[in-house]
Amino acid sequence: MTAVLVAAGAFLMKLIGGYVAQRTGDRRHLVLGFAAGLMLGVVAFDLLPESLHEAPAEIHGVPQALLMFAAGFLTIHVIERAVAIHRGHEGEYAAHTHGHHHVQDQVTTASGNGYQGVGVTAALALVGHSVMDGFAIGAAFQAGTTVGTVVAIAVVAHDFADGFNTYTITRLYGNDRRRALTLLAADALAPVTGAAITLLFTIPHHLLGLYLGFFAGFLLYLATSDILPEAHSPHPSRSTLLCTLVGVGFMWLVIGLAG
């Protein structure tokens, strides 16, 4: 039940991210930089060590957990390329140089080209990813309170960016505000659904290790390919880098205290 309550925090962060997307300020890059640091810290200091502990057996000289780590990274890469999520980000990057109404400017261009379906598909992919976020929280709490806590912190931190992207990408491709808000609501509910699913069964330790390895690759991709570029694109500044370093250090501190 704790996992579901934590997933409710992810629900709130997604709504906050969506709200900020409608009122984009000039400090978003600092929040995203910190969130990326949290995610990198969780992967390096908790998920990979725990996955190797739970699934140490090797296949052709490589631990199964690390093979799943690579599979997780490549899976989200293929998914994002398939639904053109990065195409949406690239349009967002270019628009940042024109002030705070970049989303609306891009909406006008995209709506004339009939790309609404691309925006919806990309947003639905993020919703599916958010279900996996909730599942990750539930699975991590089955592995132990420490693992569950640090994974929850990482997931909740990056859910701000997820909520922001769900709203932005939907609007970017010419969809109206009502549709964007509907998809944002679905994205917010998704992690609660994923966490609730894990209440129905207990995951065997070996499979849990494989999943944690897979999720580590998944999280690393989001941090390095989505969150960090998005944080640095409008403001390639030292302050963003500092926030990332603080995020990594904070997660090191949390894991050390929890251990």
Considering 97-101, 114-118, 148-152, 188-192, the range whose residues carry the highest mean pLDDT is: 188-192
Of 20 and 242, the structure prediction assigns the larger pLDDT to 242
Of 85 and 34, the structure prediction assigns the larger pLDDT to 34
Query: Is it the case that residue 65 has pLDDT exceeding 90?
Result: yes
Span 165-183, average pLDDT: 77
Query: Is it the case that residue 245 has pLDDT exceeding 80?
Result: yes
Query: Is it the case that residue 175 has pLDDT exceeding 50?
Result: yes
Predicted pLDDT at 68: 95
Of 121 and 109, the structure prediction assigns the larger pLDDT to 121
Residue-by-residue DSSP string for the chain:
-HHHHHHHHHHHHHHHHHHHHHT--S-HHHHHHHHHHHHHHHIIIIIHHHHHHH---EETTEEHHHHHHHHHHHHHHHHHHHHTHHHHHHHHHHHGGG-TTHHHHHHHHHHTTT-HHHHHHHHHHHHHHHHHHHHHHHHHHHH-HHHHHHHHHHHHHHHHHHHHHHHHHHHHTT--HHHHHHHHHHHHHHHHHHHHHGGG----HHHHHHHHHHHHHHHHHIIIIIIHHHHHTT---HHHHHHHHHHHHHHHHHHHHH-
- Minimum mean pLDDT range among 14-28, 47-61, 183-197, 228-242: 14-28
Predicted pLDDT at 136: 79
- Minimum mean pLDDT range among 14-28, 183-197, 226-240: 14-28
Span 98-117, average pLDDT: 47
